[in-house]
Amino acid sequence: MNEQKYFEINRKITQQLDELINIGIAVSTENEADKVLDMIVRGARALSDADGGTLFLVDGDTIQMAIVQSSSLNISLGGISGNAIEMPSIPLYLPDGSQNLTNVVSCVYHTNETINIVDAYNDKKFDFSGTKKFDQQNNYHSQSFLAVPMRNHEGDTIGILELINAIDPSSGEIIVFDEFTQRYTETLTSLAATVLTKQHLIGDLEKMFETLIHLIATAIDEASPYTGGHCRRLPELTMLIAEAAHNTQQGYLKDFYMTDKDRYELEIAGWLHDCGKITTPIYVIDKATKLETIFDRIALVDSRIELLKKEAEITLLKQIMAFPEQRELYEREYQEQLAKLDAEQTFIQKANKGGEFMTPEDQQRINALSKIPLRYSNCEGTLLTENEVYNLNIARGTLTPEERKVINQHIVTTISMLNTIPFPKHLKNVPEYACGHHERMDGKGYPKGLTREQMSIQARAMAIADIFEALTAKDRPYKEPKKLSEALSILKKMKDDQHIDPDIYDAFIAQKVYLSYARQFLDSHQIDVD
């Protein structure tokens, strides 16, 4: 070998090695699969001076073309090109079930070895009839082929890279893919397979993670027939509100911007915002009335009132038997007593619902009723027990302070649960977004008493979403769903009271986020504004 030839070979090897390193760095840092596939083919063609290249991916019992490129034919199909590939897939097995070894790509899959063909038209082992037909239709001549398997970390072939027609840079003639080119191409495809496998594994892990958080949210919803759907609606509404903030071009929110990664992170936070409720007792979540425990104890109170009515009736009969001449007086007193008991029963039933504010006067009335004596089965008691009085005197809603504390504990549990998860960098803000929906802008919320400046815009958006969803929800045990006009009026007051973020509220109103949400999730009779 003369000195000039030796120099040329060394120059080519050095150039190929440098090219391989650059391609390897680029491929290993790319996160989008289509871009990786495109870089593999372009890089391999540059590495080998190949005119064309095709990347095949294994799909069950067939091999599908993912990327098709050719310089001389000016072809770029699949991947990031946006051009569809309309060529048929290649079967890995023949109709009789045997391996398809007459096709180069299929043979590479089954043998898991590189195939280097000098001249396709003179090859006797493989069927190139399809290639020859393509050449005839496109005025092309396919000659040298290099087909390399892409093996994953388990040694399985996940794809095949096929290069066509190595070109001599000096003469422009078609030449064979030499030994060095083959080794470099095999190295590249090995690296590419590792990158693709990594991406597939990451994708599989993300899908598994998303499925898991959806299962947790669904379990929380389905555990209670009254809150079913909250964990599914909240992420939807949060994203709508965050998009409204993103689209605001003036004022406080003009610099707020979300990427697709930011959106994904916020959506994950939305699905996890109530994960702590998985530890909250269902009887507290489902407490539809003040007296409800395992069952609504109003039935016990009603039965006691019926006993009082029976006592009154027995007393009436005894009085009539003793003093028949006073019958009319005793019957009048009896009817008055029944009317009074009916009125007290109606009052207790109304108080039990917890739908309105319990005034001090009403609370005193409950206390007085508790002192009415009751006798049954040789036992003595009162119309209301101490615990029933305590529950009936709840000022707002249906929960006692102790039960409210249990409900509020869910956010503390959520924080604890999320802080134990080693979130990757692109999800590092999930705990902060998810755990701030009960905070207030004035610092009077819980559990941390954060102020507006201490919360992200995403967390503030979720706080509004949580309130608006609760106001309009149709599946709460303790209230009727609010109409849009009522819900918006309450939100406006919350804005004025520094409960919710004023700028996000303004975006929510200006861009009619409430209407987009209502059309998707509310009953038609609730939509009374446009």
Calpha distance 471→493 (Å, rounded): 13
pLDDT, one tens digit per residue, over 48-71 is 889 999 999 999 999 999 889 999
Query: What pLDDT is stored for residue 25 in this prediction?
Result: 59
Query: What pLDDT is stored for residue 219 in this prediction?
Result: 79
Query: What pLDDT is stored for residue 143 in this prediction?
Result: 95
More confident residue, 437 or 227: 437
The one-letter amino acid code at 78 reads G
**Residue 390 contacts residue 426 (beta carbons within 8 Å):** no
Architecture of the domain whose range is 224-285+404-526:
Orthogonal Bundle (1.10)
Q: Using 50, 70 and 90 to split pLDDT, how confident is the model at 404?
A: confident
Query: What pLDDT is stored for residue 358 in this prediction?
Result: 86
| Helix (H/G/I), strand (E/B), else coil: 178 | coil
Checking if the pLDDT of 503 tops 70, the result is yes
Calpha distance 48→490 (Å, rounded): 69
Give me the mean pLDDT over the 469-476 stretch: 82
**Residue 522 contacts residue 260 (beta carbons within 8 Å):** no
Calpha distance 176→118 (Å, rounded): 5
Calpha distance 45→53 (Å, rounded): 7
Q: Of all helices (H) and strands (E), which one includes residue 176?
A: none
pLDDT, one tens digit per residue, over 130-168 is 899 999 999 999 999 999 998 887 788 889 999 999 998
Q: Using 50, 70 and 90 to split pLDDT, how confident is the model at 10?
A: low
Checking if the pLDDT of 127 tops 70, the result is yes
Give me the mean pLDDT over the 499-513 stretch: 96
**Domain span(s) for CATH 3.30.450.40 in the chain:** 3-201
Q: CB 282: neighbour CB atoms within 10 A?
A: 13
pLDDT, one tens digit per residue, over 342-354 is 999 999 999 998 7
Calpha distance 213→423 (Å, rounded): 13
377: Cβ contacts below 8 Å, ≥ 6 apart: none
Tokens 């191409």 -> residue: 185
Provide, rounded to the nearest whole percent, the portion of the chain with pLDDT above 70. 91
Give me the mean pLDDT over the 322-333 stretch: 91
Model confidence, pTM: 0.68
CA–CA–CA angle 159, 211, 264 (5° rounding): 85
Cis amide leading into 431 (omega within 30) = no
Query: What pLDDT is stored for residue 101 in this prediction?
Result: 94
CATH 3.90.226.10 fits 3-201, yes or no: no
Provide, rounded to the nearest whole percent, the portion of the chain with pLDDT above 90. 52
Calpha distance 472→311 (Å, rounded): 46
Q: CB 171: neighbour CB atoms within 10 A?
A: 8
Give me the mean pLDDT over the 463-478 stretch: 84
Checking if the pLDDT of 262 tops 90, the result is yes
Q: Using 50, 70 and 90 to split pLDDT, how confident is the model at 226?
A: low
Q: Which long-range contacts (CB under 8 A, 24 or more apart) does 65-69 make?
A: 65/89, 66/37, 66/159, 67/37, 67/38, 67/40, 67/41, 69/41, 69/42, 69/45
Tokens 């102790």 -> residue: 402
Tokens 């030449």 -> residue: 175
**Domain span(s) for CATH 1.10.3210.10 in the chain:** 224-285+404-526
Calpha distance 102→111 (Å, rounded): 12
Nearest to 63, CA basis, from 96, 99, 38: 99
Give me the mean pLDDT over the 399-425 stretch: 88
Checking if the pLDDT of 505 tops 70, the result is yes
Say what the alpha-carbon torsion angle 98, 53, 180, 107 is, to the nearest 10 degrees. 0
Calpha distance 118→143 (Å, rounded): 7
Least confident window among 80-94, 107-121, 491-505: 80-94
Could you tell me the CA-to-CA distances from 7 to 1, 11, 13, 421 in Å, in that order?
10, 6, 10, 57
Q: Using 50, 70 and 90 to split pLDDT, how confident is the model at 21?
A: low
Nearest to 190, CA basis, from 224, 237, 158: 158
Helix 179-223 to helix 230-247 angle (10° resolution) is 120
Q: What is the DSSP string of 421-442?
A: S---GGGTTHHHHHT-TT--TB
- Burial class for 24, CB neighbours closer than 10 Å (0-12, 13-18, 19+): middle
Q: Roughly how many angstroms between the first and final C-alpha of the chain, as a whole number?
A: 86
Query: What pLDDT is stored for residue 253 in this prediction?
Result: 96
Checking if the pLDDT of 478 tops 80, the result is no
Q: What is the mean pLDDT of the chain?
A: 87
Could you tell me the CA-to-CA distances from 419 to 411, 436, 526 in Å, in that order?
12, 14, 38
Checking if the pLDDT of 128 tops 70, the result is yes
Query: What pLDDT is stored for residue 485 in this prediction?
Result: 94
Calpha distance 324→467 (Å, rounded): 65
Query: What pLDDT is stored for residue 223 in this prediction?
Result: 72
